[in-house]
Amino acid sequence: MKNEQSLPTFKRTSLMAVMLAGAFVAMLNQTLLNTALPQIMKDLSISVNTAQWLSTGFMLVVGVLIPVSAFLIEKFSTRRLFITAMCLFASGTLMAAIAPNFPVLLIGRIAQAVSDGLMLPLMQTIFLMIFPVKQRGAAMGMVGLVMAFAPAIGPTLSGWIVDNFSWRVLFYMILPIAVLIIIFASFMLENVTKVTHPKIDIMSIILSSLGFGGLLYGFSSAGNNGWNSSEVVIALIVGTIAIGLFIWRQLTVEKPLLEFRVLKNWIFSLTLFIGMVVMVSMIGVELFLPLYVQTARGFTPLESGLLLLPGAIVMGVMSPIIGRIFDKIGARPLALIGSAILVGVTFLFSNMTASTPYIYMMVIYAIRMFGISLMMMPVMTVGLNQLPDHLIPHGTAISNTLTQVAASVGAALLVTVMTNNTADAVQQKLPDPMVHGASVAFTVSTVLAFFALVLSFFIKPMKTSQKKDTKDEGSPVTES
């Protein structure tokens, strides 16, 4: 297996460039259709509920694929897995661009989602394997740039294109980029991961798909259909039972599909839980702010997207910088400062009114994203640093899976809080009931952010000897 000792610098750089480009276009598609749905509904003559499957189906496929990613990373070489994923993505993009009807468009989106579900875990695993511990912060900072920036610019880019062109341009624009990435990957990509040829466990894959798919579908549907909906209740019951059986099977079989024993590592589990709490809190503002400015304030979808753009740029720019700072001082001070900012700025959102200035919301959202950039990748990286190389694919798969579930839970929880409090405000004849409902939801998000702040105190500080080691080019060190 190639590692930081055997992979030349120029090959490492080219590998990073190809992986980052592939992950960027794949993750961009998570949110690219958000503001294009009304035009798609009109062109293809479909209802809102049908159109939502372009987003819901995408999310479900990603959620189902991420737990299986550890198995696939061990089963296939880096080159084969990446190029296959990108070929699927390009095929799905072309299919979506020329789709004559909704089923063809949905199949294209599902093909894109398969690529997206594999790309992030594969990129994280490779970066952690080709860099020594003392350089992983900077490397994972680049991953953070893609994770933050690509989905965040999706609504803005989509809003501008849909205002001026057909929604099909969204796919035609990305297709040549995907083809170029495949060509470059064919020449530049190195095999990094160790192929162990694990045996496929069909029952584990079925239980994983039913479990995580059921939970994600149930929680994502709860925001729209309500927690008492039979559809939601059945999905959550099936998902919970299947997850329980899946975990039991992984702990009893000789070669598990997903190694849950990584959760025995205290620091990994702590940082994973902090990341999940931050994700639940973060999803609140990203969900409610566009809803608030469009519904309660009358702004256009493009203006709504532009409101979030400076925050996306801040997080994208800061992620690599924060990664280098993490390599010098460790995760604890960054997590403490970042979570304190997150608490303070989320509290400001909870005090919004019907006359809160647009620029004010844009600025405090950007500050909030700065706080999140101090937390997300450093906390994730210090947790994954605790794992040996052979468990890194399992650690990244578990981390990404549970974060995805947390995002769905957070969205469902906060939508319910907002909806219930808006209804109460209407009954009480309060002015601006939706503003009231959103404020309560932001207050809940503030409490969650404070919980992350408390947990951050339990991250072990970097030892003095380790700080010195990060300044030289000696052998890799392990951060506590």
232 pLDDT more than 80: yes
For residue 157, the SS3 value is helix
Residues 151 and 285 placed together within one structural domain of the fold: no
Give percent above pLDDT 70 in the chain: 90
| Residue whose C-alpha is closest to residue 98's, from 37, 171, 173, 153 | 171
- Out of 194, 224, 245, a domain closes at 194
Angle between helices 392-427 and 102-130 (to 10 degrees): 130
Angle between helices 53-75 and 392-427 (to 10 degrees): 160
> Around Cβ 101, how many Cβ atoms within 10 Å?
10
- Out of 194, 223, 245, a domain closes at 194
Residues 39 and 135 placed together within one structural domain of the fold: yes
Residue 158 within a domain: yes
Phi/psi at 298 (nearest 5 deg)?
Answer: 80, 20
The pLDDT of residue 473: 40
Residues 359 and 389 placed together within one structural domain of the fold: yes
Helices and strands, number each (H, E), in the chain: 17, 0
Confidence of residue 5 (pLDDT cuts 50, 70, 90): very low
Spatial CB neighbours of 23, under 8 Å, sequence gap ≥ 6: 119, 120, 123, 143, 146, 150
Residues 10 and 119 placed together within one structural domain of the fold: yes
Structurally, the chain folds into a number of domains equal to 3
| Mean pLDDT value across the chain | 80
- Out of 194, 211, 236, a domain closes at 194
Q: Any idea which residue has 């309660």 for tokens?
A: 296
Residue 140 within a domain: yes
10 pLDDT more than 60: no
Residues 327 and 246 placed together within one structural domain of the fold: no
Write out pLDDT tens, residues 154-200: 777 777 787 788 888 888 988 999 999 899 888 777 777 676 767 77
Residue 475 within a domain: no
Q: CA of 367: how far to CAs of 277, 311, 320, 337, 338, in Å?
A: 19, 7, 17, 12, 10
| Residue whose C-alpha is closest to residue 259's, from 209, 314, 204, 179 | 204
440 pLDDT more than 80: yes
Q: How far apart are CA 363 and CA 328, in angstroms?
A: 29
Q: What is the 3-state secondary structure (H, E, C) of 46-92?
A: CCHHHHCHHHHHHHHHHHHHHHHHHHHHHHCCHHHHHHHHHHHHHHH
Domain range spanning residue 465? 261-470
Name the H helices within 201-357: 202-225, 230-252, 266-291, 301-329, 332-349
Which has the minimum average pLDDT: 301-315, 362-376, 393-407, 453-467? 453-467
The pTM assigned to this predicted structure is 0.74
Residues 268 and 287 placed together within one structural domain of the fold: yes
